[in-house]
Amino acid sequence: MNPQDVLTTIAEVAIAIAGFGGVIAAIASVAPHGLSGVARSAFGGLLLGGIMLVFFSILPQILGATGVSDSTLWSVASGLHALYMTSVLVYRTRELQRAGGSFVSLGYILPLTSGVAMIQIVNAVWVHAAWLYMAVLLVVLLGVFALFPRLLGEIWRPASAP
């Protein structure tokens, strides 16, 4: 399969996930108990993750249009993605701690973001491969998709007694 086809499909699925996240947020806004701080963080991760997946799916196509070599294309795209994931690691960890995130929440975000960043660094420096870049984006897509149960659980949890 052509890398452009895979990246376009990732972008389309990411747009759908971000859209469904918006629907969940709309439903949650009328819920009597609202969303907890951790659920708001998960919702932010869902939307930002979806938007950034679209960006990083389109980035190689933009770089390819400039005429750079494939090796340079995948190195630059992987390096930028590693930089972004490192910033997510720092920001989301702090945000979850402030929101009262559990060990489970932190145990989910820390390995995912640090592992993705490390693999993308390896790809940027040594491997320069389209398949590895796309595999990492698919892992991130699955990670973003995994935020749905958390948000749905927040919406359907019973309201606390006054």
The string of pLDDT tens digits covering residues 55-72 is 999 999 999 999 999 999
The pLDDT assigned to 106 comes to 64
Q: Beta-carbon neighbour count of residue 28 at 10 Å? A: 18
Lowest mean pLDDT among 40-54, 98-112, 133-147: 98-112
At residue 143's C-alpha, the angle toward residues 141 and 145, to 5°, is 70
Let me know if residue 79 belongs to a domain.
yes
Let me know if residue 134 belongs to a domain.
yes
Please state, rounded to an integer, the average pLDDT across all residues of the chain: 85
pTM of this structure: 0.87
3-state secondary structure at position 60: helix
Q: Who's near 85: CB < 8 A, 6+ residues apart?
A: 113, 114, 116, 117, 120, 140
CA pair distance 48, 57, nearest whole angstrom: 14
Q: Which domain, by its residues, includes 55?
A: 3-156
Q: Who's near 138: CB < 8 A, 6+ residues apart?
A: 10
Number of domain units in the chain: 1
8 A C-beta contact, residue 74 and residue 128? yes
Let me know if residue 162 belongs to a domain.
no
Let me know if residue 116 belongs to a domain.
yes
The pLDDT assigned to 70 comes to 94
| Amino acid (1-letter code) at residue 109 | I
Let me know if residue 161 belongs to a domain.
no
